[in-house]
C-alpha cells in the first residue's frame, strides 16, 4: 500500500502527523511517536509573548533601559542562569531533529508581525523542516473591522515567510465571514499549508464558586464535521496543502479527512488518551480498509469525496441543508 503523501513540500511516508501538544516536550516521546508511525511531528507552540518577554528582559539586562529600570535589574538572573523558553525551544528542535528521521515542524503562536517573527529564522537554523504558524486571535475590539482582522493574519504570515526559506503552514480557526476568501488570501500570501481548524479555548463557569474555569477539553470524533466540510470545499482550489486537525480518534475519521482532500491528518487528543500506539493502529486500520476497498495509494483516495469530485456539488452547501430540513418535515 502506497501511503506516501506530500505536505507543504515535504515528502512524508504516510499522512499521519502528531499535531502540536505537550507530547512533544520530550525527545523520547518524539522518538516513540516516530516508532509508531508518525510521519512528522509538530512541536507544541512557542508563544509570541514568550519571545517578547525574553527579549525585553534581555535588553534590560544588557544595559538598555537601565536608567528607568535600574532597581528592577536586581530581579533579573545572571546571564549564565538565563534559561528561558525560546532557547530551550531551539535546543528541543536541535535534539529532536538529531534523534528522529521524520521532519520536525516548529510551532509559533502569535498575532502581530513585529519584534518576534525573526525568531522563525532561529527555528530554521536549529533544524526545523517547517513552521506551523498558529494565529490564535480572538478579535474583541468593537472598532476593528473584519477586513482589518484578516489583514493582520496576512501581515503576520508575510513577515514569517520573509524570515525563512522553509515552508510555513497557517493554523487558524473557522470564524471568518468568508472563510473561502480568507483561505484564498492566505494561499496567495504564500502559506504552504492550511491547518484546519484551531479549537478555541472556551472557558467555562463554575456556578458554585462563581469563578471562570479554564479548561481545555479533549476532542470528540463528532467535531470533525466543520473541518471536514471546509477541506472538502477547498480541495483542488488552492495551492497550499491541507492538514486536518480535530476529532481523529480512529481510522474512520482519518479516512473521511483523506477522502475530503486532506494531505495529512493530525492527531492530539487520541494520542493523549491512547498513547503513541494509536498511530500504529491508524496506519494498520487505514491500510487494511484501503486494501479491502481496492485502493492502492493515498493519492487515489485523496479528495475522492471533495466538492469537486462528488456528482452533486450542492451536497455540501445550502441545497442539502434545505433537503435535510424537508426530510424532517416529511417524517413528522
Kindly list the residues in this chain that would bind ligand FMN in the complex (CB under 6 A): 19-22, 44-45, 107, 134, 171, 199, 216, 218-219, 245-248, 267-270
- Minimum Å gap between C-beta 131 and ligand FMN is 11
Q: Is the bond preceding residue 316 a cis peptide, omega within 30 degrees? A: no
- Minimum Å gap between C-beta 199 and ligand FMN is 5
CB nearer ligand FMN, residue 277 or residue 319 = 277
List, in order, residues 6 or more apart from 78 with CB less than 8 Å away: none
- Minimum Å gap between C-beta 215 and ligand FMN is 11
- Minimum Å gap between C-beta 224 and ligand FMN is 8
CB nearer ligand FMN, residue 87 or residue 148 = 87
- Three state DSSP letters for 303-324: CCCCCCCCCCHHHHCHHHHHHH
CA-to-CA distance for 252 and 244, rounded, in angstroms? 13
CA-to-CA distance for 66 and 34, rounded, in angstroms? 47
Residue 109, beta-bridge partner list: 47, 134
- For 215, phi then psi, to 5°, come to -135, 145
- Is 271 within 8 Å of 245 (Cβ atoms)? no
Place of cell 511517536: 33
C-alpha separations of 51 from 112, 131, 318 in Å: 12, 16, 44
CB nearer ligand FMN, residue 20 or residue 279 = 20
- Minimum Å gap between C-beta 171 and ligand FMN is 5
**Looking at residue 295, what DSSP letter applies?**
-
CB nearer ligand FMN, residue 21 or residue 97 = 21
Question: DSSP characters for 130-195?
Answer: EEEEE-------TT--HHHHHHHHHHHHHHHHHH-SS-EEEEE-S--TTHHHHHHHHHHTT-SEEE
- Minimum Å gap between C-beta 18 and ligand FMN is 9
- Minimum Å gap between C-beta 266 and ligand FMN is 6
CB nearer ligand FMN, residue 50 or residue 269 = 269
Amino acid at each position: 500500500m502506497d501511503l506516501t503523501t506530500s505536505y507543504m513540500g515535504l515528502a512524508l511516508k504516510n499522512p499521519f502527523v502528531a499535531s502540536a501538544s505537550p507530547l512533544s516536550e520530550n525527545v523520547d516521546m518524539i522518538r516513540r511517536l516516530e516508532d509508531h508511525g508518525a510521519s512528522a511531528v509538530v512541536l507544541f507552540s512557542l508563544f509570541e509573548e514568550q519571545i517578547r518577554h525574553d527579549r525585553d528582559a534581555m535588553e534590560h539586562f544588557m544595559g538598555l533601559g537601565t536608567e528607568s529600570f535600574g532597581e528592577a535589574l536586581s530581579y533579573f538572573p545572571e546571564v549564565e542562569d538565563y534559561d528561558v523558553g525560546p532557547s530551550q525551544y531551539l535546543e528541543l528542535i536541535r535534539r529532536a531533529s538529531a534523534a528522529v528521521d521524520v521532519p520536525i515542524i516548529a510551532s509559533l503562536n502569535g498575532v502581530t508581525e513585529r519584534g518576534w517573527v525573526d525568531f522563525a529564522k532561529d527555528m530554521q537554523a536549529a533544524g526545523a523542516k517547517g513552521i506551523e504558524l498558529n494565529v490564535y486571535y480572538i478579535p474583541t475590539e468593537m472598532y476593528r473591522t473584519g477586513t482589518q482582522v484578516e489583514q493582520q493574519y496576512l501581515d503576520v504570515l508575510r513577515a514569517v515567510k520573509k524570515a525563512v526559506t522553509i515552508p510555513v503552514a497557517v493554523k487558524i480557526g473557522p470564524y471568518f465571514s468568508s472563510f473561502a476568501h480568507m483561505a484564498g488570501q492566505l494561499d496567495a500570501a504564500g502559506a504552504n499549508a492550511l491547518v484546519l481548524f484551531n479549537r478555541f479555548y472556551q472557558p467555562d463557569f463554575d456556578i458554585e464558586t462563581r469563578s471562570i474555569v479554564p479548561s481545555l477539553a479533549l476532542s470528540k470524533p463528532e467535531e470533525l464535521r466543520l473541518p471536514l466540510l471546509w477541506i472538502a470545499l477547498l480541495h483542488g482550489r488552492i495551492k497550499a496543502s491541507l492538514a486536518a486537525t480535530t476529532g481523529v480518534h480512529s481510522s474512520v475519521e482519518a479516512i473521511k479527512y483523506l477522502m475530503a482532500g486532506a494531505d495529512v491528518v493530525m492527531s492530539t487528543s487520541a494520542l493523549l488518551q491512547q498513547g503513541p500506539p494509536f498511530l500504529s493502529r491508524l496506519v494498520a486500520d487505514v491500510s487494511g480498509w484501503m486494501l479491502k476497498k481496492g485502493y492502492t495509494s493515498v493519492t487515489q483516495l485523496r479528495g475522492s469525496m471533495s466538492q469537486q469530485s462528488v456528482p452533486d456539488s450542492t451536497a455540501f452547501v445550502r441545497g442539502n441543508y434545505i433537503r435535510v430540513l424537508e426530510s424532517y418535515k416529511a417524517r413528522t
